[in-house]
Amino acid sequence: MLLEASIDIDRPIETVFDFVADPRNDSRWCPRVISCEQRPGEGPGRGARYDVLHDPTLIRRHTRSIEIVEFDRPRRMVSRQEDEVAAFTISYLLERTPRGPRLTQRDEIAWRISRIARPVAKRIVGRHIGSQLRKLKQVLESPDPAAA
């Protein structure tokens, strides 16, 4: 299953990329992320791995593993994320526009839940992507993004 959403952010493309490419920032714009700890790797980049404490809708808190599989600053970052719910391939794609960079989040999802639950999960995840991108825009466009 594929879900995708985009948003324009009034900040330099490198600033947007650097922020979203570091999963340690996720708790600042993804309300379901409680914490994120880096495992192997030094800072964001290809091969870096993270453990995330995740608190999704309708499912108990659990750990999700993240591995950065592509890292092409400032245009593209792809991570492979796995937990008991699904295996996610999440791409952050950035392009320059006259209004600033456009960030597209593309989630490819291989569900590990029952077929009956998948339509509800799809709706929930789709709604979360949209709200996360709006929160990201708010954080990055604030007067002091480091303090948000």
CA separation for the pair 94, 57 (Å, rounded):
28
Kindly list the averaged pLDDT for each block of 10 residues, start to end, along the chain of length 148. Answer: 96 96 95 92 90 82 93 98 94 94 97 93 92 96 70
Q: What is the pLDDT of residue 61?
A: 82
For 29, list phi and psi in degrees, rounded to 5. -135, -5
CA separation for the pair 131, 133 (Å, rounded):
5
Q: Which residue has the tokens 């391939």?
A: 89
CA separation for the pair 102, 125 (Å, rounded):
20
Count of CA atoms in the C-beta half-sphere (13 A) of 32:
18
Q: What is the pLDDT of residue 25?
A: 96
Q: How far is CA 26 from the centre of its chain?
A: 7
Q: What is the pLDDT of residue 59?
A: 72
CA angle 139, 102, 67 (to 5 degrees): 75
